[in-house]
Structure 1
Amino acid sequence: MSDMSNPKPRTSLAPVLVLVAMIIGVMVAVLGGANGPILMAVVFVFTMAIGVPIPFAAGIATVAGLIIADIPMTLMAQAAWTAFEPFPLVTIPLFILAGQLMEQGGMSEKLVNIAQKLVGAYKGGLGLVTVVACMFFAALSGSGPATTAAIGSITIPAMQAEGYRSRFAGAIAASAGALGSMIPPSNLLIIFALVTDVSIPRLFLAGIVPGIVLGLMLMVVVFVISAKNGYGGTGEKFRWGPLLAAFWEGKWAVMAPVIILGGIYAGIFTPSEAAGVAVAYGLFVGMFIYRGLTWAKLFHAFKFTAIVIGSVLFILGSTKAFGQLVTLFDIPSSVLALFQGLVDYPWLVMLLIGVFYIIVGMWLESIPQIIIFTAVFYPLVTSLGVDPVVFGIFTVMTCEIGFLTPPIGVNLFVAARISKISIEEISVGVLPLLIPYVLMILLLVFYSDWVTYLPNLVYGPTR
């Protein structure tokens, strides 16, 4: 249930790898050294098409490229070492663990209760509650699928009991849960920062406003559909008393993002240190304040984190080598030459990249997508004058659409499992909720100054 999980069932890879090895041998003999990038692309696409998991597919394609370019295989190990070396990488497992501790410790229930008192009385009340609660929890988890699971497991059954169509209830949780990858702290923004050396605090600040605006747009869509179908709404007037009481009861949950993000922006601690603070805070509140953390839940949180970060490191190692080989083959320069006629139209280049990212995101998981294609497109967009921070937000926004499109739509799988419906059914239900994401991408392409306003205000303009 994370950005890094693979929803497809595991199969034996031995026969597949033998077949791929034979095909690589034939291609090396036929294509020759001048077509290394073509060989890599063909092998990568073919291995994914026959069901090889993404890290293995990237690794096999890298091996093919190394063979045809006559580069020592030690590049694989060296690339993995450099991928694991950056200290900020420790931020990811710590934020994953912190999100698990806060979910298991009872914070998600407190946030849902606050959202219920805030917007629950309106038409589509529980749907609006789901969006607002996901926005709150996104500031704790750093993960889109984890946010979907934490909030959806509470609100989806409640929406179904209130008469919401199951595919709509699941679609709300899936689309709002994707905010976990935009509203900081975001694991995907951290990955983008590690690949490009863009400042993590700048990216975090830049993700706040787009995340909130996107959440409000989702609420508008949920309200319109709910009003049309007569879903929910008690008709009671909003009252400050119950809301303030809910805030007081959930004050420890509300204070978590204030302490974590406030500490980063105030310069009290770095993002890596903030992740450690988040773990300590989640552990303390879960065990001693809300008392929701049992030893069994604590073990589950550590186990979940170990499994996820293990898959992350494996993906990082193989895709980092793939990305390095992309650079060695000078593919970014070839891409730049390809777009040479469009240098006067940066908006068109961004639109084309966005369409490409969305299509790729339907088949590729978010972390390898960021690592592999950022190496290709980042030099291009920065040469066109696009702010690196804007491109980071743009990249993660397209990945969020990938969470919501089959066949590798992780959020859809999580929400469908909770809703007890098929992936096909929830894929139809999520279609109207993709409209705000598409509108946000258009906003980022045609008017992006508002994205960098907060980072520039706090840290000064990018040099």
Structure 2
Amino acid sequence: MNGPLVMAAAFVFAMAIGVPIPFAAGLATVAGLLIADIPLTLMAQAAWTAFEPFPLVTIPLFILAGQLMEQGGMSEKLVTIAKRLVGAYKGGMGLVTVVACMFFAALSGSGPATTAAIGSITIPAMQKEGYRSRFAGAIAASAGALGSMIPPSNLLIIFALVTDVSIPRLFLAGILPGLILGLMLMVVVFVISWKNGYGGTEERFRWGPLLWALWDGKWAVFAPILILGGIYAGIFTPSEAAAVAVAYGLFVGLFVYKGLTWVKLLHAFKFTAIVIGTVLFILGSTKAFGQLVTIFDIPSDILTLFQGLIAYPWLIMLFIGIFYILVGMWLESIPQIIIFTAVFFPLVTSLGIDPVVFGIFTVMTCEIGFLTPPIGVNLFVAARISKISIEDISVGVLPLLIPYILMILILVFFSDWVTWLPNLVYGPQLR
């Protein structure tokens, strides 16, 4: 029997009948092990090797840091700064949402966390100003997805762990695409708001209120400078930076903004434990899945499948992007990265595509998964805050998907600029 086909069939069937993704991957792995006559102990060994890399500690620490900063009051300060910066223009509160999400993305590293932290403040404000609820929720959901691109990003860390690509390089490479994507989202929000007459106080921009808001929120603004600046200056590693972020969030939340209480602290620890428990379970079960992909030599089969298109790397990247987007509609981002990176990474690197570029490309397609039902996590978070149905917000987010599609096309056809910043700081990467 064909092992890969049996594994694929077992995985798809298990998901179709509602088996959770980690268990579905586990069942497919067991099927593959039995066919290959490999001891089932491989699963335990694979899980052990999946949990062994020290950088893995970065994920729960950044999740906890983001929760502490959200619960401690930093998100409100960032919204105030964004309001003073762009709030006076047409669609001002929508623009505020995008800018605030860009700020908070540099604190949380998570798309859903960014959507929840900023959307809970700005969505009700947009609704009061007459924004249509599905548009207000769609802005928060689409801008919140920037949390997976602007560093520190949990998805970039997962990609780095799977491929051994440098985390600092991926973080630096994510800055420009994240900022450009944020600006493109602002353009779409402004055009739609101007067309529908949403928001805008018509008062002139003034430096005084902005500088005061920056001073009042200086502790929130300093957080990404401390975290990312420390990494790029070589003061501490990404794992140490995550620990520094937790300590900083605790200090500011308890003693400066004084927004943290024992109840909020408990909520932050509980939320972190649930998320990292889920991540570890997925990572453990899908690591063996990825090893079997290598044992069955699936990457070589994929390479053979695309043999006629090797002269057109851009076309192969387009096919992979379409595949990732379709899969992202049904599969959560973390298992998607772990499972399919093992399949496509050898292919794209053999075509001469920079591993860092492919990492940014992969996470960008996952961001679209955050915004497409039925699994779109950001949509569920924003819909809950907006008090509307998932169907309604799915319609509202359609025009805001345009910047993401454009960015993917830019990454496919013009990708050299992505590595400019990491090459500037660390020098060109040897392949």
TM bucket by the smaller chain?
A: over 0.9
- Give the secondary structure class of the aligned counterpart of 1:450: helix
The Cα shift of 1:51 comes to: 1.0
Q: What is the match of residue 357 of structure 2?
A: 390
TM-score, L = length of structure 2:
0.99
Q: What is the match of residue 42 of structure 2?
A: 75
The Cα shift of 1:68 comes to: 1.1
Q: Distance in 2 between matches of 1:424 and 1:439?
A: 24
TM-superposition CA deviations, 1:365-396 (whole Å, max 9, x none): 00000000000000000000000000000000
Q: What is the match of residue 421 of structure 2?
A: 454
TM-superposition CA deviations, 1:210-248 (whole Å, max 9, x none): 000000000000000000000000000000000000000
- Give the secondary structure class of the aligned counterpart of 1:283: helix
Q: What is the match of residue 288 of structure 1?
A: 255
Q: What is the match of residue 330 of structure 2?
A: 363
Q: What is the match of residue 18 of structure 1?
A: none
Q: What is the match of residue 410 of structure 1?
A: 377
Structure 1 segments (4+ residues) deviating >4 Å: none
TM-score, L = length of structure 1:
0.93
Q: What is the match of residue 278 of structure 1?
A: 245
TM-superposition CA deviations, 1:328-350 (whole Å, max 9, x none): 10000000011111111000000
Structure 1 unpaired stretches of 5+: 1-31
Q: What is the match of residue 209 of structure 2?
A: 242
Q: What is the match of residue 121 of structure 1?
A: 88
Q: Distance in 2 between matches of 1:440 and 1:417?
A: 28
Q: Distance in 2 between matches of 1:324 and 1:369?
A: 15
Q: What is the match of residue 378 of structure 1?
A: 345
Q: Distance in 1 between matches of 2:91 and 2:14?
A: 44
- 1:201-220 aligned at under 5 Å gives the runs 201-220=168-187
Q: Distance in 1 between matches of 2:267 and 2:372?
A: 29
TM-superposition CA deviations, 1:116-168 (whole Å, max 9, x none): 00000000000000000000000000000000000000000110111000000
Q: Distance in 2 between matches of 1:49 and 1:247?
A: 50
* 2:239 partner amino acid: S
Q: Distance in 1 between matches of 2:179 and 2:56?
A: 26
- Give the secondary structure class of the aligned counterpart of 2:345: helix
Q: What is the match of residue 86 of structure 1?
A: 53
Q: What is the match of residue 155 of structure 2?
A: 188
Q: What is the match of residue 445 of structure 1?
A: 412
The Cα shift of 1:69 comes to: 1.0
What is the Cα-based RMSD across aligned positions, in Å? 0.4
Q: Distance in 1 between matches of 2:11 and 2:32?
A: 10
Q: Distance in 1 between matches of 2:310 and 2:35?
A: 32
Q: Distance in 2 between matches of 1:44 and 1:355?
A: 20
Q: Distance in 2 between matches of 1:198 and 1:228?
A: 44
Q: Distance in 2 between matches of 1:410 and 1:347?
A: 29
Q: Distance in 2 between matches of 1:202 and 1:222?
A: 31
Indicate yes or no: 2:100 matched with 1:133: yes
The Cα shift of 1:50 comes to: 1.2
- Give the secondary structure class of the aligned counterpart of 1:198: coil
Q: How many residues align?
A: 430
Q: Distance in 2 between matches of 1:48 and 1:224?
A: 40
Q: What is the match of residue 164 of structure 2?
A: 197
Q: What is the match of residue 163 of structure 1?
A: 130
Q: Distance in 2 between matches of 1:121 and 1:328?
A: 58
Q: Distance in 2 between matches of 1:313 and 1:90?
A: 11
Q: What is the match of residue 25 of structure 2?
A: 58
TM-superposition CA deviations, 1:149-189 (whole Å, max 9, x none): 00000000110111000000000000000000000000000
Indicate yes or no: 2:179 matched with 1:179: no
Q: Distance in 2 between matches of 1:49 and 1:137?
A: 36
The Cα shift of 1:43 comes to: 0.8
* 2:274 partner amino acid: I
The Cα shift of 1:290 comes to: 0.2
Q: Distance in 2 between matches of 1:157 and 1:43?
A: 44
Q: What is the match of residue 71 of structure 2?
A: 104
Q: What is the match of residue 393 of structure 2?
A: 426
Q: What is the match of residue 15 of structure 1?
A: none
Q: What is the match of residue 333 of structure 1?
A: 300
TM-superposition CA deviations, 1:29-72 (whole Å, max 9, x none): xxx3xx00000001101111111111011001101111111110
The Cα shift of 1:319 comes to: 0.7
* 1:320 partner amino acid: K
TM-superposition CA deviations, 1:5-47 (whole Å, max 9, x none): xxxxxxxxxxxxxxxxxxxxxxxxxxx3xx0000000110111
* 1:459 partner amino acid: Y
Q: Distance in 2 between matches of 1:234 and 1:435?
A: 27
* 2:357 partner amino acid: V
Q: What is the match of residue 289 of structure 2?
A: 322
Indicate yes or no: 2:291 matched with 1:313: no
